[in-house]
Structure formats: structure tokens, C-alpha cells
Chain A
């Protein structure tokens, strides 16, 4: 797609305006939320001047902090478990025959292609029928389930690129299978594993629908907490918290993207 034609300045300006409008569309709600977090008024209907009070109030709000802790814990554990299960599965599937591989990948993609509401109720029915106790555990199991396909989507292409003979060479030279894997194969697939982890973490963090059906009474993540607050009106502390999360991630991504450039 690098077809070099003499671009008219008009064309590039139009392109820039178009991209600008799309990004305005994508980021306008985020700007709105950031603005609301500094709004002195409790309601989002009017602007009462700049204030930092919701940031101060946030840390005293037990319920929100508990929901934040639950959200982060679930995202951390679920994506870690999904990365381990997903990576091992990729290695195993890569060694299988074409037909078997196609069938298993088809099943793997179900949670990703299926509607979240169907995944949510199907897991809810499973937990009810087998007498699981609804709570953090059921949320965790559900999140691992829908995170695995995203991990495999990231790891599978990397695994397929790994030259099998390198691994065999390591074994021929006396390395144990495990050592050969960690010394030879793992470094090659690491970027895929990392992006899989990031993807799974993000998906888990942003999920509402599946959590809605698989959580027990009294256990809340940020999403489900917000959903119950919708009718009463969202607590402004919530805007403050999501602003903090967003800015933190933005800074982290900025730092991560900066470092490799400087090395070059």
C-alpha cells in the first residue's frame, strides 16, 4: 500500500480533517468524563466550577475502592491464567494434524464470536446447575474462559513462525524439553504472549455483560457497580477514578512506546 503518487495538499488536508473528526468522535466521551471529574456539582447536568473534591472523596469511598480491588484482582489473575492455559494450548495445537487443529480452533473462537449475553447466560446456567457458589470465583472462571481466545489469537501466529528444528537442535545438544522451550522457543513467542496478556487484561477490565450474569449478590466490579448506580445517578468519584486509570494507562503506554525508539 505504499503506492507513491504525487499527493495534492488538498487531499492530505481532507484526510487529516477526516482522521481528526473520527478521533474527536472516539475521544469526546472520554474528555467529557474527565471534565465531569473536575466538576464541583454533584449532578452532571450543570458545571459549578473546577474542583478536586471528588478525587479526595474517592479514597474514602469504601465501596468504590472494594470494586476497584475486585476488578484489578480479577483482571490480573484471569489474564495470567488465560496466558498460561492459552500458550500451552497453542504449543499443543501446533503439534496436531490439520483437521484436529481446525476443530479445536473453531471451538476456541466460540467465546470471541458468540454474543457476550449468550456466553454470560450459558455460564450462569452452568454454575447454577452444578451448584457453584456465585462470587469472585465464578467471575474469575468466566473471565479466564473469554480471555483465552484473545491470548491464543496473539500467541498462535508467533508459535507457527518458530522454527521447530531450532528446538530439536537444542534437545539434541542435551537440553531437556522444558529447558529447550524456555531458552529457545519462549523468547521468540514472548512478544505474542505479552500482547495476549495486555489484550486479555483490557478485555477483562472492560467487561460488563459476562460479569453481570456470573457475579453473586454483594460482589461488585467497577462495571457492575456503575450499572447499579445508573438509575440513582453516577457518583462523581467514579469519574475521578476512571480519569486516574485512563491517565495512568496513557502515561504507561507513552513510556513503553518511547523506550525502544531511544535504543535505536
Chain B
């Protein structure tokens, strides 16, 4: 009897030991390449060139130029997140109802465009949106008014929706297919109509997916510098453009890091929201 217990204890100890041993390389990796780099951003953001502590780089966000870029970024990313949600929810519902037996097929359709370079895909919108571009030729053919949105905030929103829509569709789709059909049937049997069933049963069950989708769209939209550069002309500066220029052109890493800290406040806020609403990781993309 005692022997058996010893063996079991030893087994558990072994399990723990191998677990710790196996996790060591990964923990080391995430320490060096995730946590230390983030620490560096805070170090640079909170010091000046002589290494003395200052909050000037962070408060620089309040200067007229930076504040304008931040507000514009927030505005455009909120609008595009909302448009993504409006487009994605019905789409996810239709896809979930189609009973495609290959779940991976749906994921593939949305991942497939990524095999064509992201910059080229965004640039292609230039060709489509230009004054003499494809869309305007089609509109002209039907005697419709021309669409002149290239180099405007509207074009940036379009680029954001285009690039990040899959990140909204996939989590919502995943939370929809997980719903037990019996729950929906029960609601209908108990007399709820289609609209009641949707608002009382289906939508609440997909909230984790929606929240995850919002996070996945809002953060990259808020921080992009490529989409604004390619579709917004060179005059519209988002906060991402300001930070990128501090690093690659102005060479002021301290200011760039300080402004990044401001961005991280938004990102952390976003992470907290998604952690609260999606405790079990139900709204994952895959």
C-alpha cells in the first residue's frame, strides 16, 4: 500500500518536474523577446536622451499635432470597427446556417487573401478607387456620380475594413456554430419569435465572439501607419504614422516610445475588456 502511494507521489513529482523543465526554453524566450522589449519601450519612453526620468515624451501626446493624429486615429478606427461589425454579423450568421461540413474551409476563404501581399492588396485599392479607376469606370457606365474618396479619410476607413474584416467574421462565426441548436429550438417552442430568439438567445451567446472581433479589429486599425500612408495620401497623419516617423526618420526613440506608451494604454484597456467578457477563450479566431 505504502509503495503504491510512493510511486504515485513520485509520478506527480516527475510530472511537475518535466513540466517545469519543458517550459523553461519557452519561458526564457518570452522573457527575452516579449517582456524585456516591452520594458525597453517603457524605459525609453520615460527617460530623455541623457537617461534622466521624464514624463515629457508621454505628455507630448497633448501637443496640437499629436493630439489631432490620436483623435483622428481613434475616430477612424471606431468607425471601421463598427462597419466591420455590421458587415460581419449577418455574414457569420449566413455562413453558420449554411451547414458547411468543413469548418476549415470557411477559415481558409478568409485567410487565403493573406497569401497575396498585404501592401499590394491595399495598393490595389488605389487602382480601384482612382478618379479614372475601375470603380469609377463602372459607375460612369451606369451614369452614376463618380466616387472620389482616394486620399481621404473615407479611403482609409475602406482600407481598414477591407484588411481587418476577417478578424471580425471568424470569431463571430465560431461562437455562432458553437450554439446548441436545441437551445434555439427550445426558445422557439416556448413561443419566442425570430426576433426575440435572436436578441434573447443567439446574440447574448455570441458576445464573447463579438468582443474578441472588436479587439482584433480595433487595435490594428488604431495603430496602423501603412493603410493611411497608402490610401490617405501623405497629408493625413495617424498616430501610427507619427510614431513610425519618430523611429525611422526623426530618430527620436524617446518621443516615439513615449507616444507608444499612450497607445499601449488603449491596447491594455482593450485586453482587459476582452479578458472580462471572454474568460474561457470562447471567442477565439480558430
Contacts and interface: CB of A to CB of B under 8 A. Distances in A.
B96 interface: yes
Given A121-B257, A206-B114, A3 B185 contact: yes
B177 A126 contact: no
B25 interface: yes
Interface stretch (A52-60, A83-91, A182-190): A83-91
Interface in A117-141: 117-119, 121-126, 129, 141
A167 to B, nearest CB: 10
A253 B33 contact: no
A213 B247 contact: yes
Nearest to A81: B29
Contacts of A88: 22-23, 25-26
Contacts of A96: 19, 23
A78 interface: no
Interface size grouping (class) on chain B: 35 or more
A19 B112 CA distance: 16
Contacts of A257: 102, 105, 108
Nearest to A245: B115
A117 B225 contact: yes
Interface in A216-252: 222-223, 226-227, 230, 234, 238-239, 242, 245-246, 249-250
Given A85-B25, A113-B215, A126 B120 contact: no
A42 to B, nearest CB: 14
B212 to A, nearest CB: 10
Interface in B89-121: 90-91, 94-97, 99, 102, 104-105, 108-121
Contacts, number: 235
A242 B243 contact: no
Which of B41, B124, B130, B260 gathers the greatest number of chain A CB atoms within 10 Å? Answer: B124
B184 interface: yes
Interface SS of B by simple majority: helix
A95 B220 contact: no
A239 B110 CA distance: 21
A26 B113 contact: yes
B116 A242 contact: yes
B235 to A, nearest CB: 15
B223 A234 contact: no
Contacts of A166: none
B67 interface: no
10 contacts: A32-B127, A33-B120, A93-B23, A96-B23, A107-B35, A110-B38, A122-B40, A125-B41, A212-B248, A223-B118
Interface of A: 1-3, 15, 18-19, 22-23, 25-30, 32-33, 36, 44-45, 85-86, 88-89, 91-96, 104, 107-111, 113-119, 121-126, 129, 141-142, 144-145, 148, 153-154, 168, 177, 195, 199, 202-203, 205-206, 208-209, 212-213, 222-223, 226-227, 230, 234, 238-239, 242, 245-246, 249-250, 253, 257
